[in-house]
Amino acid sequence: MDGGPLEGEDETRHTALPELFLELSTDGTILAVRGRRVEDFGIDPQSVGRRISEVLSPSQADAIRDCVERSIRTDSVVFTEHVSSAGGRRRFWQARTIPLGPDRAMRMVIDMSEQLRWHQALERSEARFRQLVEQAVDGIFVCDEDGRLIDVNRQACESLGYSREEILTMNLVDLCQGLDLEQLWEMLDRLDPGQSETHAAGHVRKDGSTFPVELHLGPFWDSAGEPRILALARDVTDRQRLEKAMPVRCCPRPPSKRLAASGATSTTAWGNT
């Protein structure tokens, strides 16, 4: 194989190539060179036919030859990672050495810098989100489609009197009076991710006592593509107590014909029931 482009190779195929791949023999001879950023590695198509030790530093050449030898000897893919700095910017590379036969292997090098930065940014975002969830005044529960709890926040544990370890062995419907699995399944079929509905329920504490909650339920898909249910439980004990204590307005009676004829008016009465 030479180092030139393959006949008929189109732009789509070219841009799908990794940053670099080398085909090498067991003695370190470069048999082929391909890639989108070959020059970044100090290798070019003119290196075909030369020994890797003539092109790269002794330490780099030794490391590559070792990967080639191991991949052929074990007949398996050898993964390695390394970091480089150029122009004040760190880059993270992942290399895979793949055996092609008893006397040669292919080494693919992929720039993982952007993926790693994205992953780090996602981890920071998830950490901030987790902090907000833990500070929420509502109980937050995440369960699978069968109601098995997968995650909860601090308020959920404290309001029910369970430790996190205990509550993650339980089912959401066991903690909520007025909620059953059929309702969860119907909700998953009826609602799209991002939608939610509200249920009146009663939360059951560890000691068996209960308190009223307003339960907001909605489906979503996790990062692995599995269906999940998010439940937000708001304690409405104080609200219900306040509603019971509020005075009730009595509906005024329509005036009798005698009062209407005399021009007298009725009064509106307020009172408790």
pLDDT tier for residue 4 given thresholds of 50, 70 and 90 = very low
249 three-class SS: strand
- What is the reported pLDDT for 7? 42
> Does residue 83 register a pLDDT over 80?
no
Q: Say which range, 92-101, 211-220, 241-250, has the weakest mean pLDDT.
A: 241-250
Average pLDDT, the chain: 80
Higher pLDDT, 90 or 109: 109
4 or 131, which is more confident: 131
Contact 187, 229 (CB under 8 A): yes
Give the integer Cα–Cα distance in Å for 180 and 86. 59
Q: Are strands 270-271 and 248-249 parallel, antiparallel or unpaired?
A: antiparallel
Model confidence pLDDT, tens digit, residues 219-261 = 998 878 888 999 999 999 999 888 888 776 655 666 555 545 5
Q: List C-alpha distances in Å: 50 to 23, 24, 29, 121.
A: 12, 10, 6, 42
Residue 190 has pLDDT above 50, yes or no: yes
Query: What integer pLDDT is reported at residue 150 of this predicted model?
Result: 94
For position 175, what pLDDT does the model report?
Answer: 94
- pLDDT score at 188: 84
